[in-house]
Protein backbone atom coordinates (compact mmCIF):
# COMPACT_ATOMS: atom_id res chain seq x y z
CA UNK A 1 0.00 0.00 0.00
CA UNK A 2 1.24 3.46 -0.82
CA UNK A 3 2.09 5.80 2.02
CA UNK A 4 -0.42 8.63 2.22
CA UNK A 5 0.76 10.35 5.40
CA UNK A 6 4.32 10.55 6.54
CA UNK A 7 5.16 12.41 9.72
CA UNK A 8 8.84 12.89 10.56
CA UNK A 9 10.09 14.24 13.87
CA UNK A 10 7.16 16.62 14.07
CA UNK A 11 7.32 19.23 16.81
CA UNK A 12 4.86 21.90 17.84
CA UNK A 13 5.37 24.34 20.66
CA UNK A 14 2.89 26.80 22.07
CA UNK A 15 5.13 29.17 23.99
CA UNK A 16 6.93 26.74 26.29
CA UNK A 17 4.27 24.04 26.00
CA UNK A 18 5.48 21.18 23.83
CA UNK A 19 2.27 19.88 22.35
CA UNK A 20 4.16 17.62 19.95
CA UNK A 21 7.70 16.59 20.75
CA UNK A 22 9.28 14.69 17.90
CA UNK A 23 6.50 12.58 16.49
CA UNK A 24 7.10 10.22 13.58
CA UNK A 25 4.77 7.73 11.91
CA UNK A 26 3.30 6.72 8.58
CA UNK A 27 -0.17 5.98 7.39
CA UNK A 28 -0.91 3.98 4.28
CA UNK A 29 -3.67 4.93 1.91
CA UNK A 30 -6.90 3.25 2.93
CA UNK A 31 -5.96 2.82 6.57
CA UNK A 32 -8.24 3.69 9.46
CA UNK A 33 -6.15 4.98 12.34
CA UNK A 34 -7.30 5.69 15.87
CA UNK A 35 -5.32 8.35 17.69
CA UNK A 36 -5.60 7.88 21.41
CA UNK A 37 -4.15 9.29 24.57
CA UNK A 38 -4.95 11.37 27.59
CA UNK A 39 -6.28 14.90 27.43
CA UNK A 40 -3.64 17.44 26.49
CA UNK A 41 -1.33 14.89 24.93
CA UNK A 42 -1.30 16.60 21.53
CA UNK A 43 -3.90 14.67 19.52
CA UNK A 44 -5.82 17.70 18.27
CA UNK A 45 -2.58 19.51 17.60
CA UNK A 46 -1.49 16.68 15.30
CA UNK A 47 -4.83 16.59 13.50
CA UNK A 48 -4.72 20.36 12.98
CA UNK A 49 -1.25 20.22 11.49
CA UNK A 50 -2.11 17.32 9.20
CA UNK A 51 -5.23 19.18 8.11
CA UNK A 52 -3.39 22.40 7.40
CA UNK A 53 -5.15 24.32 10.14
CA UNK A 54 -1.93 24.90 12.00
CA UNK A 55 1.75 24.84 11.14
CA UNK A 56 4.39 22.81 12.98
CA UNK A 57 7.35 24.34 14.76
CA UNK A 58 9.69 21.78 13.19
CA UNK A 59 9.65 18.52 11.31
CA UNK A 60 7.77 17.21 8.33
CA UNK A 61 4.17 16.30 7.77
CA UNK A 62 3.69 15.03 4.25
CA UNK A 63 0.15 14.36 3.12
CA UNK A 64 -0.35 12.95 -0.36
CA UNK A 65 3.06 14.22 -1.38
CA UNK A 66 2.63 17.70 0.08
CA UNK A 67 4.66 18.81 3.08
CA UNK A 68 2.18 21.00 4.92
CA UNK A 69 5.05 22.50 6.94
CA UNK A 70 6.19 24.21 3.77
CA UNK A 71 2.89 25.63 2.62
CA UNK A 72 2.09 29.30 2.94
CA UNK A 73 -1.29 30.67 3.96
CA UNK A 74 -2.79 30.45 0.47
CA UNK A 75 -1.26 27.01 -0.06
CA UNK A 76 -2.76 25.77 3.19
CA UNK A 77 -6.17 27.10 2.16
CA UNK A 78 -6.06 25.20 -1.12
CA UNK A 79 -4.72 22.14 0.64
CA UNK A 80 -7.65 22.14 3.08
CA UNK A 81 -10.18 22.59 0.34
CA UNK A 82 -8.77 19.89 -1.91
CA UNK A 83 -7.25 17.16 0.23
CA UNK A 84 -8.90 17.16 3.63
CA UNK A 85 -12.33 16.30 4.96
CA UNK A 86 -12.82 17.46 8.55
CA UNK A 87 -15.24 16.05 11.07
CA UNK A 88 -15.24 17.94 14.36
CA UNK A 89 -16.50 17.01 17.77
CA UNK A 90 -18.71 20.13 17.83
CA UNK A 91 -19.95 19.51 14.26
CA UNK A 92 -19.22 23.15 13.30
CA UNK A 93 -22.02 23.57 10.83
CA UNK A 94 -22.84 27.07 9.66
CA UNK A 95 -25.97 27.80 11.73
CA UNK A 96 -27.93 29.83 9.18
CA UNK A 97 -27.46 27.47 6.26
CA UNK A 98 -29.63 24.41 5.66
CA UNK A 99 -28.15 20.92 5.68
CA UNK A 100 -27.73 20.85 1.92
CA UNK A 101 -26.29 24.37 1.88
CA UNK A 102 -23.74 23.37 4.50
CA UNK A 103 -22.60 20.62 2.18
CA UNK A 104 -22.66 22.94 -0.79
CA UNK A 105 -20.51 25.41 1.11
CA UNK A 106 -17.64 22.93 1.01
CA UNK A 107 -18.24 22.45 -2.71
CA UNK A 108 -18.20 26.20 -3.18
CA UNK A 109 -14.87 26.63 -1.41
CA UNK A 110 -13.47 23.70 -3.36
CA UNK A 111 -14.73 24.64 -6.82
CA UNK A 112 -18.39 24.94 -7.81
CA UNK A 113 -21.61 23.95 -6.14
CA UNK A 114 -23.70 21.02 -7.33
CA UNK A 115 -26.92 20.77 -5.41
CA UNK A 116 -27.79 17.33 -6.76
CA UNK A 117 -24.53 15.87 -5.63
CA UNK A 118 -24.89 17.53 -2.24
CA UNK A 119 -28.34 16.02 -1.86
CA UNK A 120 -27.06 12.58 -2.80
CA UNK A 121 -24.33 12.87 -0.25
CA UNK A 122 -26.94 13.70 2.43
CA UNK A 123 -29.08 10.78 1.31
CA UNK A 124 -26.07 8.61 1.69
CA UNK A 125 -25.72 9.50 5.39
CA UNK A 126 -29.43 8.84 5.80
CA UNK A 127 -30.61 12.45 5.81
CA UNK A 128 -32.56 12.44 2.56
CA UNK A 129 -35.55 13.86 4.40
CA UNK A 130 -33.62 16.55 6.30
CA UNK A 131 -32.13 18.38 3.36
CA UNK A 132 -33.75 21.74 4.00
CA UNK A 133 -33.38 21.66 7.78
CA UNK A 134 -31.26 24.14 9.65
CA UNK A 135 -28.68 22.76 12.08
CA UNK A 136 -30.82 23.99 14.96
CA UNK A 137 -33.64 21.77 13.66
CA UNK A 138 -31.41 18.67 13.63
CA UNK A 139 -30.33 16.38 16.44
CA UNK A 140 -26.65 16.15 17.35
CA UNK A 141 -26.30 12.88 15.50
CA UNK A 142 -27.98 14.32 12.43
CA UNK A 143 -25.73 17.35 12.55
CA UNK A 144 -22.70 15.13 12.70
CA UNK A 145 -23.99 13.18 9.73
CA UNK A 146 -24.31 16.43 7.80
CA UNK A 147 -20.71 17.11 8.80
CA UNK A 148 -19.72 13.68 7.46
CA UNK A 149 -21.51 14.39 4.20
CA UNK A 150 -19.74 17.74 4.04
CA UNK A 151 -16.37 16.11 4.72
CA UNK A 152 -16.90 13.65 1.88
CA UNK A 153 -18.33 15.92 -0.76
CA UNK A 154 -15.03 16.91 -2.36
CA UNK A 155 -13.59 13.38 -2.34
CA UNK A 156 -10.75 14.23 0.04
CA UNK A 157 -7.59 12.15 0.23
CA UNK A 158 -7.67 12.19 4.00
CA UNK A 159 -10.53 12.31 6.48
CA UNK A 160 -9.61 13.83 9.83
CA UNK A 161 -12.11 13.24 12.61
CA UNK A 162 -11.39 14.74 16.00
CA UNK A 163 -13.56 12.90 18.53
CA UNK A 164 -16.40 12.64 16.03
CA UNK A 165 -18.64 10.88 18.54
CA UNK A 166 -17.55 12.83 21.59
CA UNK A 167 -20.80 14.79 21.74
CA UNK A 168 -23.16 12.02 20.75
CA UNK A 169 -25.25 9.49 22.64
CA UNK A 170 -24.70 5.81 22.07
CA UNK A 171 -27.29 5.39 19.33
CA UNK A 172 -25.94 8.29 17.30
CA UNK A 173 -22.39 7.21 18.02
CA UNK A 174 -23.22 3.87 16.47
CA UNK A 175 -24.66 5.54 13.35
CA UNK A 176 -21.63 7.75 12.85
CA UNK A 177 -19.20 4.91 13.48
CA UNK A 178 -20.94 2.69 11.00
CA UNK A 179 -20.67 5.52 8.49
CA UNK A 180 -16.94 5.69 9.14
CA UNK A 181 -16.70 1.95 8.76
CA UNK A 182 -18.44 2.21 5.41
CA UNK A 183 -16.06 4.92 4.31
CA UNK A 184 -13.17 2.78 5.37
CA UNK A 185 -14.52 -0.14 3.43
CA UNK A 186 -14.76 2.07 0.37
CA UNK A 187 -11.06 2.74 0.69
CA UNK A 188 -10.98 6.12 2.41
CA UNK A 189 -8.07 6.96 4.66
CA UNK A 190 -9.28 8.04 8.10
CA UNK A 191 -7.46 9.51 11.07
CA UNK A 192 -9.78 9.51 14.04
CA UNK A 193 -9.11 10.86 17.51
CA UNK A 194 -10.95 9.06 20.28
CA UNK A 195 -10.80 8.50 24.00
CA UNK A 196 -12.87 5.37 23.99
CA UNK A 197 -10.88 2.14 23.68
CA UNK A 198 -13.99 0.43 22.31
CA UNK A 199 -14.02 2.86 19.40
CA UNK A 200 -10.27 2.70 19.02
CA UNK A 201 -10.53 -1.01 18.52
CA UNK A 202 -12.63 -0.50 15.39
CA UNK A 203 -9.62 1.05 13.63
CA UNK A 204 -6.93 -0.85 11.80
CA UNK A 205 -4.32 0.60 14.03
CA UNK A 206 -3.98 2.78 17.12
CA UNK A 207 -1.43 5.50 17.70
CA UNK A 208 -1.05 6.28 21.39
CA UNK A 209 0.05 9.69 22.60
CA UNK A 210 1.37 10.84 25.94
CA UNK A 211 2.86 14.29 26.56
CA UNK A 212 3.42 14.93 22.91
CA UNK A 213 5.24 11.65 22.35
CA UNK A 214 4.18 8.52 20.64
CA UNK A 215 3.77 5.78 23.18
CA UNK A 216 3.14 3.01 20.78
CA UNK A 217 2.93 3.16 17.05
CA UNK A 218 1.91 -0.38 16.61
CA UNK A 219 3.49 -1.84 13.55
CA UNK A 220 0.46 -2.56 11.43
CA UNK A 221 -1.36 -4.27 14.22
CA UNK A 222 -4.32 -6.07 12.85
CA UNK A 223 -7.79 -5.39 14.00
CA UNK A 224 -8.38 -7.26 17.25
CA UNK A 225 -11.35 -9.14 15.97
CA UNK A 226 -9.27 -10.40 13.05
CA UNK A 227 -6.28 -11.29 15.18
Partner 1 sequence: MFARLLGESFARNPRRKVLTAAALVIGMAVATATLTIALEVGDRLAREFRSLGANLLVTPESDTLPVEIGGVDYRPVDEGAYLNEADLGKLKTIFWRHNILGFTPFLDVPAYVSETGGATTLIGTWYKHEVPVPDGTKFETGASATHPWWKVQGRWFQDGADECVVGAGLAEKYPAAFAIGKTIHLTQNQVSGDGRPLVVTGIISTGDAEDNAVLLPLPVAQEISGHPGKFRQLFVSALTKPADALAERGERAQTDKNIQLTPTEYDRWFCSPYISSIGFQIRTVLPGTDVHAIRRVAETEGRILTRVGTLLWIVTLAALGAAALAIAATSATTVLERRAEIGVMKALGASNALVGGIFLAEQVLLAIAGGAIGFFVGAGLARFLGESVFGTPAAPRPILFPVVLALAAVIAMIGSLVPLRRAAHFRPAVILRGE
Q: Applying CB under 8 A, which residues contact partner 1? A: 44, 48, 51, 53-54, 73-74, 77-78, 80-82, 86, 88, 90, 92-97, 101, 104-106, 108-110, 113, 150
Residue from 16, 39, 112, 136 touching ligand ATP (CB under 6 A): that is 39
Q: How far apart are CA 164 and CA 121, in angstroms?
A: 18
Q: What angle do CA 50, 62, 221 make, to 5 degrees?
A: 80
Among partner 1, Mg ion, ligand ATP, none, the one that 101 touches (CB under a kind-dependent 5 to 8 A) is partner 1
Instruction: Pick the stretch among 41-49, 95-103, 119-127, 218-226 that binds Mg ion (CB under 5 A).
Output: 41-49
The minimum distance between CB 196 and ligand ATP, in angstroms, equals 12
- Interatomic CA distance for residues 142 and 172, integer angstroms: 8
The residue count for binding ligand ATP (CB under 6 A) is 11
CA distance 5 to 219: 15
> What does 105 interact with, of ligand ATP, Mg ion, partner 1, none (CB < 5 to 8 A by kind)?
partner 1
Per-residue exposure over 169-203, b if at least 16 CB sit within 10 Å of its own CB, e if not: eeebbebbbebbeebbeeebbbbbbbeeeebbebb
CA distance 11 to 220: 23
Residue 165, interface with ligand ATP (CB under 6 A)?
no
Of 131 and 215, CB closest to partner 1: 131
Amino acid sequence: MATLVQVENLRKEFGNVRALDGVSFRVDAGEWIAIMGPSGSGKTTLINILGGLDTPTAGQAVVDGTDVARLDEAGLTRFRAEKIGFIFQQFHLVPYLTAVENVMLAQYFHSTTDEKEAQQSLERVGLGDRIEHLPSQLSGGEQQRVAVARALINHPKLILADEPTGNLDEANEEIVLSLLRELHNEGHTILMVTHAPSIGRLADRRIEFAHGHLVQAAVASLKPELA
